[in-house]
């Protein structure tokens, strides 16, 4: 169980959940436990682990480290970010209502519109920039509010603390979930802002090496942990021990990586903002962002995520990149670029996409930790190519 000590973020990332004394052999690095089953002293008399789906030492180390980094009490990991989303739906009953921000990852929108709806879970999508939208959308059967902030891909912000205060005052029973994938717990801790659950696609920045698909939910609440722990086992949405060991290793450098992502991201955003072939740059830590004041109040920094509206041919631009890789996903050490309208957000109905502004001029960048000058030079040459 993590202790919410006053240790620094990097100290917690390196030591929380990793105590060598938890193993008889005292390995400093937690062992990778691949066994799917564990010898018992007698029928139903085990030493903490019985079957890999129900619990695993490698998973346990990661979950404790995640909880400590979030100033939470419990961490639970799942087979993917959408697996975590699926697990969180087990907190709801048929007929319940969810209020979700209108700009979220395409797969999350698809899940709510085409999967949760089959369980008779109703979903309303509202503009997350305006707190009143969330409050006004609350109904008698509302049981969950799903916030992504910053959002994917438009980098809109929700005033998490105010939404929670406004909603919880009248309806303390409503679960507040924050998908913290874009900010990470280094720049933003939703539980400290009053959220019930901080949720992640660990696939992204938290693992940060583009070699694991995983999700997580962190909470302080015993009742939520009990329900999600049951779901994790009973629905079997668990990750492999090997993937848990990889993510656990990645967390050790999260602080360093996020600092570099932020440094490179800001340099790229400022370069794009002054470029004649760029119509508009969206980056929460640029003073030009409409919610800049909220960004610097609510977060201690911003990752490498940038979106911008391109004046030229987006397909030519993306195919001309040499260091940025044209691919879906984000948050890895490598720089990625994509066209949400036909890639990550293609599953959102066109009318909704157009209304949001997710059109073929909108390009999303995940700025990596390569040498800053190389990234800017690559963007510059590709922008020139896009006008030929």
Ligand X SMILES: C=C(NCc1c(COP(=O)(O)O)cnc(C)c1O)C(=O)O
Site of interaction with ligand X (CB under 6 A) = 80-82, 105, 107-108, 148, 152, 179, 181-182, 201, 203, 213, 215, 328-330, 344
Q: How far is Cα 70 from Cα 5, in angstroms, rounded to an integer?
A: 12
Largest CA distance in the chain: 74
Q: How far is Cα 254 from Cα 190, in angstroms, rounded to an integer?
A: 17
To ligand X, the closest distance from the beta carbon of 226 in angstroms equals: 24
Q: Which CB atom, from 64 or from 181, has the smaller least distance to ligand X?
A: 181
To ligand X, the closest distance from the beta carbon of 336 in angstroms equals: 8
The single residue of 105, 175, 200, 285 carrying the catalytic annotation is 105
Q: Which CB atom, from 18 or from 248, has the smaller least distance to ligand X?
A: 248
CB-nearest residue to ligand X: 81
Q: Which CB atom, from 77 or from 126, has the smaller least distance to ligand X?
A: 77
To ligand X, the closest distance from the beta carbon of 49 in angstroms equals: 26
The single residue of 143, 204, 257, 364 carrying the catalytic annotation is 204
To ligand X, the closest distance from the beta carbon of 274 in angstroms equals: 27
Whether 171 is catalytic is no
Mapping DSSP onto H, E and C, the string for the chain reads CCCCCCCCHHHHHHHCCCCHHHCCCCCCCCCCCCCCECCCCECCECCCCCECCCCCHHHHHHHHHHHHHCCCCEEEEECCHHHHHHHHHCCCCCCCEEEEECCCCHHHHHHHHHCHHHHCCEEEEECCCCHHHHHHHCCCCEEEEEEECCCCCCCCCCCHHHHHHHHHHHCCCCEEEEECCCCHHHHCCCCCCCCCEEEEECCCCCCCCCCCCCEEEEECCHHHHHHHHHHHHHCCCCCCHHHHHHHHHHHCCHHHHHHHHHHHHHHHHHHHHCCCCEEEEECCCCCCCCCHHHHHHHCCCCCCEEEEEECCCHHHHHHHCCCCEECCCCCCCCCEEECCCCCCCCCCCHHHHHHHCCCCCEEEEECCCCCHHHHHHHHHHHHHHCCC
Rg, Å, the chain Cα set: 21
Helix (H, G, I), strand (E, B) or coil at 305: strand
Q: Which CB atom, from 17 or from 150, has the smaller least distance to ligand X?
A: 150
Q: Are 174 and 144 in contact (CB under 8 A)?
A: yes
To ligand X, the closest distance from the beta carbon of 152 in angstroms equals: 4
Whether 179 is catalytic is yes
Write out the two tokens for 305: 């995520």
Q: Which CB atom, from 56 or from 181, has the smaller least distance to ligand X?
A: 181
Whether 316 is catalytic is no
To ligand X, the closest distance from the beta carbon of 212 in angstroms equals: 9
Q: Which CB atom, from 102 or from 179, has the smaller least distance to ligand X?
A: 179
Q: Which CB atom, from 201 or from 231, has the smaller least distance to ligand X?
A: 201
CB count in 10 Å sphere of residue 355: 11
The single residue of 102, 103, 159, 179 carrying the catalytic annotation is 179
Whether 53 is catalytic is yes
Q: Which CB atom, from 33 or from 330, has the smaller least distance to ligand X?
A: 330
To ligand X, the closest distance from the beta carbon of 8 in angstroms equals: 26
To ligand X, the closest distance from the beta carbon of 324 in angstroms equals: 14
Which sequence positions are flagged as catalytic? Answer: 53, 105, 179, 204
């Amino acid at each position: 169980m993590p202790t919410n000590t006053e240790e620094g973020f990097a100290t917690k990332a390196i030591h929380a959940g990793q105590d060598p004394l938890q193993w008889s052999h005292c390995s400093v690095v937690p062992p990778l436990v691949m066994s799917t089953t564990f010898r018992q002293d007698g029928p139903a008399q085990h030493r903490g682990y019985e079957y890999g789906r129900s619990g695993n030492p490698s998973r346990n180390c990661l979950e404790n480290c995640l909880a400590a980094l979030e100033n939470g009490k419990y961490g639970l990991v799942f087979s993917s970010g959408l697996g975590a989303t699926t697990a969180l739906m087990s907190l709801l009953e048929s007929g319940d209502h969810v209020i979700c921000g209108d700009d979220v990852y395409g797969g999350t929108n698809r899940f709510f519109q085409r999967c949760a709806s089959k369980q008779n879970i109703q979903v309303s999508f509202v503009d997350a920039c305006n707190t009143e939208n969330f409050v006004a959308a609350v109904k008698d059967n509302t049981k969950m509010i799903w916030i992504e902030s910053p959002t994917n891909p438009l980098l809109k912000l929700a005033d998490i603390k105010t939404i929670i205060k406004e909603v919880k005052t009248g309806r303390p029973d409503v679960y507040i979930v924050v998908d913290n994938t874009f900010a990470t717990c280094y720049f933003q801790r939703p539980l400290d802002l009053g959220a019930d659950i901080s949720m992640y696609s660990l696939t992204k920045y938290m693992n940060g090496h583009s070699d694991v698909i995983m999700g997580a939910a962190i909470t302080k609440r015993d009742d939520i942990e009990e329900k999600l722990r049951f779901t994790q086992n009973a629905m079997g949405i668990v990750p492999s021990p090997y993937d848990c060991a990889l993510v656990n290793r990645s967390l050790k450098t999260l602080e360093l990586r996020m600092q570099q992502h932020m440094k490179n991201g800001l340099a790229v955003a400022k370069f794009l903002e002054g470029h004649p072939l760029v119509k508009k740059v969206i980056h929460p830590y640029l003073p030009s962002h409409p919610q800049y004041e909220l960004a610097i109040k609510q977060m201690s920094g911003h990752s490498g995520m940038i979106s911008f509206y391109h004046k030229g041919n987006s397909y030519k631009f993306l195919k001309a990149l040499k260091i940025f890789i044209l691919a879906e996903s984000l948050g890895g050490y490598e720089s990625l670029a994509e066209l949400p309208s036909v890639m990550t957000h293609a599953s959102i109905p066109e009318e909704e996409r157009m209304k949001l502004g997710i059109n073929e001029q909108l390009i999303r960048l995940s700025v990596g930790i390569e040498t800053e000058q190389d990234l800017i030079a690559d963007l510059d040459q590709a922008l020139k190519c896009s006008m030929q």
